[in-house]
Structure 1
């Protein structure tokens, strides 16, 4: 994969698949300002690239993510400095700081392209917040998870309490968040937090790339629409969701792609799809030969 660096993350792309790698391996990719600032930049870069159709999020070193960098919280200028504010302005600054951190993970959800988390080793606290904002999740058999915030006297505020119930259920989320217990890959799979478990990091990398490449080979319009409609339907009635998808397809269903997909099956070849440029604008040039 060809790559480049941003603050706290590395970005690569190959064969229609983009990779965002958390890159603080000496600190188990513990989350600090560089990572919170770097993630949205990396997501925007790959989301606006018409050659990228799926994004994988992974971690460097021995662990996926060790959670918030507790060491950084004890340094001057850390978010906790705002927590002792007594004036309305000081409390508002702290609220805005939290929202800025939340926005880093929400970037995965707002990305028009599917985002897949490839988890190995520890995925603790803020790491769970991160993966719940992704669309698909896979892990190694030695992966360990924990909604750890109560153990450091914090109410989890970066997305787990909002997104995890929709993945594993409300009651299970309550138990995991109140106990802060650690659970492994097998339980994560049983709870449907992850969709599959791989025997090693190498197997995870290959397996998730194959899944991403398979999705990337499908119609970008159909994949983008599926993600958008599912996210919209999560927070609305069935009737509203049906109306939304009818409107979506009325606006974006592309007859040429549908017909070419059907012909490609008959002719035993790959269909030809249009590339999507930034903000979902459809290129008038297809990707034949790209």
Structure 2
């Protein structure tokens, strides 16, 4: 891997943010995941970034899931009245969901590199990413039923739209059993299993990020945006929306730059995107 350079002001106490390649942001989870929302929302406004890699900085695990003591204390200090208590708990869940959705909300492609233990919350995080790699030593589990709840931060919402094997998905979700990286690939959760551990899978993710970062940022951003739209709409709705989207985006100078580079056999250069809106 290349030597990383920091992205000033982006790191937090629990999340390390650096730029190991031009236009690539590397987000490494040191301990706590709840700061992901602020970090990804900040990255979403950074015009020098074109692709993001998400990994754990810990050598033996991606995430062991939610802290059980924290889970047991979720209701502390809430109202004794059932309706108000339910509303307060709902607000907590929505806050957690928004934190994970910030990954999907990011306009740039996010590549996740999982390794080691990847339980519970790990699946929520990975399902919100665009490209998912796993080291061969990764052990997964949709763990929530073992602590008495249905997964509520994204796994059950996104995995049915990701998985190619729904029978296997249901088995994993109901049983909470461990499953291997090979089974995760069979499920469709990951597209690539990399032999080794953290360093090997992170290297593979950064290689893919490097390739994506050389492409037209307008084309890549639009592709992610339209893929997510297609997931949540009918084919005709997406075709109509794409026609409107590209009615504007086909006017990009990036196309002329690419045509010029093909003719001259030179490497294209693209202008920065500039400050983006909070949400496209």
Q: Are residues 1:17 and 2:24 paired?
A: yes
Distance 1:270 1:71 in 2: 53
TM-score when normalising by structure 2: 0.90
Question: Deviation at 1:193?
Answer: 1.1
Q: Are residues 1:111 and 2:106 paired?
A: yes
Distance 1:130 1:84 in 2: 30
The Cα RMSD (Å) is 1.8
Distance 2:77 2:158 in 1: 26
1:196-207 matches, within 5 Å, as 196-200=192-196, 201-207=198-204
Distance 1:84 1:186 in 2: 45
> 2:174 is matched with which residue: 178, 185, 201?
178
Q: Larger RCO: Structure 1 or Structure 2 (Cα < 8 Å, ≥ 6 residues apart)?
A: 2
Question: Deviation at 1:172?
Answer: 2.9
Distance 1:181 1:80 in 2: 27
> 1:59 is matched with which residue: 56, 60, 84?
56
Q: Are residues 1:222 and 2:198 paired?
A: no
Residues 183-205 of structure 1: per-residue CA shift (max 9 Å, x gap): 11111112221111112222212
Q: Are residues 1:2 and 2:5 paired?
A: yes
Q: Which residue of 2 aligns with 1:194?
A: 190
Distance 2:161 2:122 in 1: 17
Q: How many pairs are equivalent?
A: 268
Question: Deviation at 1:9?
Answer: 1.3
1:105-254 matches, within 5 Å, as 105-169=100-164, 170-200=166-196, 201-254=198-251
SS of the counterpart of 1:154?
coil
Question: Deviation at 1:85?
Answer: 4.4
Question: Deviation at 1:100?
Answer: 0.3
Summarize the Cα distance change of 1:92–1:112 in structure 2 as closer, same or farther, 3 Å threshold: same
Distance 2:251 2:26 in 1: 28
Query: In the alignment, is the contact (CA less than 8 A) between 2:218 and 2:252 conserved in 1?
Result: no
SS of the counterpart of 1:155?
coil
TM-score when normalising by structure 1: 0.87
Question: Deviation at 1:116?
Answer: 0.8
Distance 1:5 1:262 in 2: 38
Distance 1:101 1:40 in 2: 9
- Name the stretch that deviates more: 65-74 or 50-59: 65-74
Question: Deviation at 1:134?
Answer: 0.5
- Name the stretch that deviates more: 169-178 or 269-278: 169-178
SS of the counterpart of 1:240?
helix
Distance 1:265 1:206 in 2: 29
SS of the counterpart of 1:276?
coil
Q: Which residue of 1 aligns with 2:94?
A: 99
Q: Which residue of 2 aligns with 1:30?
A: none
Distance 1:258 1:82 in 2: 57
Which segments of 5 or more consecutive residues in structure 1 lack a partner in the other structure?
25-33, 282-290
